[in-house]
Amino acid sequence: GAGVSQSPSNKVTEKGKDVELRCDPISGHTALYWYRQSLGQGLEFLIYFQGNSAPDKSGLPSDRFSAERTGGSVSTLTIQRTQQEDSAVYLCASSFGTGVFYGYTFGSGTRLTVV
Partner 1 sequence: KNEVEQSPQNLTAQEGEFITINCSYSVGISALHWLQQHPGGGIVSLFMLSSGKKKHGRLIATINIQEKHSSLHITASHPRDSAVYICAVIFQGAQKLVFGQGTRLTINP
Rg over CA atoms, the chain: 13
Q: Decide if residue 80 touches partner 1 (CB under 8 A).
A: no
**Residue 23 identity (one-letter amino acid):** C
Q: Decide if residue 48 touches partner 1 (CB under 8 A).
A: yes
User: What SS3 class is residue 42?
Assistant: coil
CA distances from 57 to 29, 111, 112 (A): 19, 21, 20
Q: Decide if residue 91 touches partner 1 (CB under 8 A).
A: yes
Minimum distance of partner 1 from residue 99's CB (angstroms): 8
Q: Decide if residue 62 touches partner 1 (CB under 8 A).
A: no
Single residue of 18, 44, 68, 85 touching partner 1 by CB under 8 A: 44
Per-residue DSSP letter, 84: G
Minimum distance of partner 1 from residue 19's CB (angstroms): 19
Q: Which of 6, 14, 15 is nearest to 37 (CA)?
A: 6
Which residues bind to partner 1, rule: CB under 8 A? 33, 35, 42-45, 48, 50, 56, 59, 91, 93, 98, 100-101, 103-109
